[in-house]
A and B are shown apart, each in its own frame.
Chain A
């Protein structure tokens, strides 16, 4: 199993450009999450999804949109990138609701720089 994979690993954007980050998991997890991590800070939840076709806002959703058209994929979109969105983005997935352990499995991250 590949676990959680993220595409791309690195990206440089100019202010105002758009892009989509792809997260894929092969563990049949119901829940998927997008976080951002800035230097010296912990992870902050952007959006999450509790199942195919559903998404919800996290702690810092502004400037981002997400979609969960397939259970195994969770896309994070930036419609008009801003320098404040320069960060490392992590995707994660977890067991279905009601499981004894709700461990999150994280991807390797995408390093995004917005100039």
Chain B
């Protein structure tokens, strides 16, 4: 199974760019990489998904190197409302091999 490893916590200030890296050394050929955001007392919310190279949407970018053994979620110009836990999920939605990491708690300061 593609276990994931993320930093436990990160601190940032408003307006800065934040990069959170997830390691997944045993990623399988048909696994996708998905990032979720979770606020206290809420269910996780989808941020971005990718398979290889770079993906960008209106809220984040996802960088995946050629070997796919890691991925980096990039949040441009964070605000206080970005304070949350961010999870990296590696897996194939056609199987039960959906592994969430333990998450990275991001604290954004004014």
Q: List 25 A-B contacts (CB under 8 A).
A: A4-B43, A33-B98, A40-B102, A42-B87, A42-B101, A42-B103, A43-B44, A43-B87, A44-B100, A48-B98, A50-B94, A58-B98, A59-B96, A90-B43, A102-B34, A102-B49, A102-B93, A103-B34, A103-B49, A104-B46, A106-B43, A106-B44, A108-B41, A109-B42, A109-B43
Residue of A nearest to B44 (CB): A106
Q: Counting CB contacts under 8 A, is A66 at the interface? A: no
| Chain B contacts for A97, CB-based, 8 A | 93-94
* B46 lies within 8 A of A103 (CB): yes
| Chain B contacts for A101, CB-based, 8 A | 49
- B64 smallest CB distance to A (angstroms): 16
A97 to B100, CA, bound (A): 20
| Chain A contacts for B45, CB-based, 8 A | 106
A40 to B99, CA, bound (A): 15
Residue of B nearest to A106 (CB): B43
| Chain A contacts for B41, CB-based, 8 A | 108-109
Number of A-B contacts (CB under 8 A): 56
Q: Interface size bucket, B side? A: 20 to 34
A50 to B46, CA, bound (A): 20
Residue of A nearest to B46 (CB): A103
- A34 smallest CB distance to B (angstroms): 12
Residues of A within 8 A of B (CB): 4, 31, 33, 35, 40-45, 48, 50, 56-59, 90, 92, 94, 97, 101-109
Residues of B within 8 A of A (CB): 32, 34, 36, 41-46, 49, 87, 93-94, 96, 98-103
| Chain A contacts for B49, CB-based, 8 A | 101-103
- A59 smallest CB distance to B (angstroms): 7
* B43 lies within 8 A of A108 (CB): yes
Most buried by B among A31, A50, A59, A104: A104
* B100 lies within 8 A of A43 (CB): yes
* A94 lies within 8 A of B93 (CB): yes
A102 to B33, CA, bound (A): 10
A56 to B41, CA, bound (A): 27
4 closest Cβ pairs, A-B complex: A106-B43, A102-B93, A42-B100, A103-B46
